[in-house]
């Protein structure tokens, strides 16, 4: 039983660490602010969740388990909020995202109009 | 209003007990004092209502959470693939999406779910439109099909 617990928690921790490293690599690799935020959102959802689940499997009693669950829930609530605030602040201060050609054709007109309105007001 | 106060009280008691782990008289008394202080403050601030304690969502929200976890899992794998394949495979897109939710609660749940799912970020929320930035155009198409929208609208109806 002990073996099963330590192996399954080890797998979760390893996967979580791999995802966190991948998130950091994406942060370095992607071209602009908004795409980099997508890379970090991988870290803050599944990376953190897997590491915390790995620790939950190892937790000795209910109190430690409950604290880990609280950390996970708080992280999942705070992550999108801060992500949205960052993206909104960047967009309203006139940081234009780099878009692909096809994406540009679809959305260049409304986005530039909206950006212009906001910077004037 | 009364229901919401009772729910807030229960949440605070559980939070205190699980975080402290000591059940001596002194710490329990301190807990009761601080919980009643928080209850007094929140009533004075007038924030104890259906928005801070969304009790009317309780019986439906867990099914939605399960579905959302599945979605987050899938889009995580997508974004991980893009990270390892390099930036030539991504097609960043910015687009406004119509939303059908009426209440503020529904809109916030929708915008937060979009941001929580890796690969899409809600940049701006105005009346009934969300401006979404997506790492890949295909994930935006998934949003435009409106399954998440439908599920949240269902959640919203009491």
Q: Do A46 and B115 touch (CB under 8 A)?
A: no
The ipTM value here is 0.83
Q: What is the pLDDT of residue A114?
A: 43
In this structure, are B37 and B66 located in the same domain? no
How many structural domains is chain B composed of? 2
In this structure, are B88 and B150 located in the same domain? yes
Residue ranges in chain B whose pLDDT is less than 70: 158
In this structure, are B99 and B134 located in the same domain? yes
**Residue range A7-35: average pLDDT?**
92
Helix ranges (DSSP H) in chain B: 2-20, 25-45, 58-85, 104-116, 137-145, 147-156
Report the residue of A42, A68, A88, A111 to disrupt the B interface, i.e. the one with the largest count of B CBs within 10 Å.
A42
A 10 A CB-CB count for B97 gives: 19
What does the domain layout of chain A look like in residue ranges? Answer: 2-120
Q: What is the pLDDT of residue B57?
A: 80
Question: Nearest to residue A41, comparing CAs of B65, B113, B62, B70?
Answer: B113
Beta bridge partners of B125: B130
In this structure, are B79 and B136 located in the same domain? yes
- Return the SS3 of B25: helix
Q: What is the pLDDT of residue A32?
A: 87
In the predicted structure, residue A20 carries a pLDDT above the cut 50: yes
Structure tokens at A51: 């590491």
Q: What is the pLDDT of residue B147?
A: 82
> Which structural domain, as residue segments, surrounds residue B126?
58-156
pTM of the model: 0.81
Specify if B34 maps to a domain.
yes
Q: Do B18 and A76 touch (CB under 8 A)?
A: no
């Amino acid at each position: 039983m002990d073996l099963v617990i330590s192996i399954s928690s080890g797998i979760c921790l390893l996967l979580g660490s791999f995802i966190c490293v991948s998130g950091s690599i994406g942060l370095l690799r992607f071209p602009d602010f908004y795409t980099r935020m997508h890379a970090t959102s991988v870290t803050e959802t599944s990376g953190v969740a897997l590491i915390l689940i790995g620790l939950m499997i190892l937790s000795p009693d209910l109190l430690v388990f409950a604290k880990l669950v609280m950390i996970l829930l708080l992280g999942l609530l705070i992550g999108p909020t801060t992500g949205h605030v960052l993206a909104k602040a960047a967009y309203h201060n006139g940081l234009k995202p780099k878009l692909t050609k096809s994406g540009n054709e679809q959305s260049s007109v409304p986005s530039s109009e909206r950006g212009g309105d906001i910077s004037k007001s | 209003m009364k229901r919401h106060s009772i729910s807030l009280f229960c949440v605070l008691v559980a939070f205190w007990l699980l975080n402290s782990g000591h059940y001596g008289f002194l710490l329990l008394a301190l807990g009761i004092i601080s919980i009643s202080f928080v209850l007094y403050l929140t009533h004075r601030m007038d924030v104890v209502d259906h928005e801070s304690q969304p009790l009317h969502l309780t019986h439906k929200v867990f099914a939605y959470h399960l579905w959302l976890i599945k979605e987050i899992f899938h889009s995580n794998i997508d974004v991980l693939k893009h990270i390892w394949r390099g930036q030539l495979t991504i097609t960043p897109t910015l687009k406004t999406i119509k939303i059908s939710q009426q209440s503020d609660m529904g809109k916030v749940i929708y915008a937060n779910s979009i941001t929580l799912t890796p690969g899409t970020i809600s940049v701006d929320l105005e009346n009934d439109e969300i401006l979404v930035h997506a790492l890949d155009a295909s994930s935006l198409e998934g949003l435009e099909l409106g399954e998440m929208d439908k599920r949240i609208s269902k959640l919203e109806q009491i």
